[in-house]
Amino acid sequence: MRILVVDDEPHLRRMMRLALEGAGYDVEEAADGEQALSMFGDGSRFAATLLDQRMPGLDGLEVLSRLKQRRADACVVMVTAYATIELAVEAMKLGATDFVRKPMTPETLRRAVAAALARSSAPADAGVSAEAAVAASDRPTTMPPIEIWTTNGFFVRRLGVTEEAGGLSHRFLVRQGRGESGVEIDVLIPARTRADTARQAGCQPSAEFWRRQAESALLNHLWANAAVPHGSLVVGRVTGALVHAAMDASRV
């Protein structure tokens, strides 16, 4: 498979090229947006494009938009040292397949590319979100398990939840590559956290609300640390907009 690496910093392009060539990819480099567009052509030559966000001239979002105009199903991974939720949302709206943050290790980069290629080639109805995972619960049990693919190369599968005296324990399977068996991680929601949230919201949040909080806590950890948690995660506090979300969810 051929990958196009677009970055205005030569040493970063070289690092990404060497990392990907070590995984068996053919790699070509572009130093800015204009060169990337010229090399990309109709997109048929490249399985994926790694696209820096901050570059002189055309920035990454503008290049992304133009790439997607040429080839709507292009697999484009945004790469930036200035990751924000707003930037990630905008990139995804424009059609980015994935989002990886600098600095990254060679292995993180390889996993991110593998995850993006897997997502890009998945059937249109393949689940990659929490919503899809919930919808899949009504499908036959012979269907393959639904996984969430994070933007930095992790695969997360929800295993279930148990209610204990101390609170709720949500269990997930986390893998860093499709060939790995994975690690089971518990995300704990203490009884005190549930009681405090219910008091603030004026209602008892639903099981679905707490599933989302557990899932978010795990995904945020994987994004921020680029590593599987050591031991369990604990959801200690729910505030602000999430309390309003609990109120809204109770009305459904």
Which has the higher per-residue pLDDT, 59 or 243? Answer: 59
Q: Based on the domain organization, do 163 and 103 belong to the same domain?
A: no
Same domain for 105 and 151: no
Query: Mind listing the pLDDT tens digit for each residue in 73-118?
Result: 999 998 887 656 677 778 878 888 887 877 777 888 888 888 888 8
Whether 8 and 114 map to the same domain: the answer is yes
Using a pLDDT cut of 90, give the percent of the chain over it: 29
Q: Which of 137, 135, 193 is nearest to 160 (CA)?
A: 137
pLDDT of residue 121: 67
pLDDT of residue 243: 53
User: Does residue 169 carry a pLDDT above 70?
Assistant: yes
- Strands 26-30 and 2-6 turn out to be parallel
Domain check: are 107 and 217 in the same one?
Answer: no
Average pLDDT over residues 114-128: 63
Q: Flag whether the pTM goes above 0.85.
A: no
Strand 167-175 relative to strand 155-164, pairing: antiparallel
Q: Are residues 74 and 116 in the same domain?
A: yes
Percent of the chain's residues with pLDDT above 70:
79
User: 59 and 147: one domain?
Assistant: no
| pLDDT of 158 over the 70 cut | yes
CATH number at residue 64: 3.40.50.2300
Q: Which of 121, 144, 174 is the last residue of a domain?
A: 121
Q: Please indicate whether residue 223 or residue 6 has the higher confidence score (pLDDT).
A: 6
**181 DSSP assignment:** -
**Mind listing the pLDDT tens digit for each residue in 190-209?**
999 988 888 887 888 888 88
Whether 84 and 138 map to the same domain: the answer is: no
Domain match, 218 and 142 both:
yes
pLDDT for the residue numbered 115 = 84
| Cα dihedral 109, 218, 213, 159 in deg (nearest 10) | 110
pLDDT tier for residue 41 given thresholds of 50, 70 and 90? very high
Residues whose CB falls within 8 Å of the CB of residue 207, separated by 6 or more in sequence, listed in order? 161
State whether 228 and 158 are in the same domain: yes
Do 18 and 85 belong to one domain? yes
Sign of CA dihedral 27, 29, 35, 37: positive
Among 92, 121, 150, the domain boundary falls at 121
Most confident of 15-24, 58-67, 77-86, 198-207: 58-67
At 122, the pLDDT band (50, 70, 90 cuts) reads low
**Host H or E run for residue 220:** helix 207-225
Confidence of residue 147 (pLDDT cuts 50, 70, 90): low
User: Measured between alpha carbons, how far is 19 from 162 in angstroms, rounded to an integer?
Assistant: 41
Task: Kindly report the backbone phi and psi dihedral angles of residue 43, in degrees, each rounded to the nearest multiple of 5, phi listed first.
Answer: 85, -5
Domain containing residue 83: 2-121
**Vertex 18 angle, CA 16 and 21, to 5°:** 105
| Domain-terminating residue out of 66, 87, 121 | 121
- The domain tally of the chain equals 2
Res 134 pLDDT > 60? no
- Whether residues 137 and 220 fall in one domain: yes
Can you read off the two tokens belonging to residue 93?
A: 């709206």
Position 187 scores a pLDDT of: 94
* DSSP-assigned letters across all residues of 127-146: --SHHHHHHGGGS-TTSPPP
Q: 136 and 58: one domain?
A: no
Residues 6+ apart with CB under 8 A from 164: none
Report residue 123: phi and psi, to 5°.
-60, 155
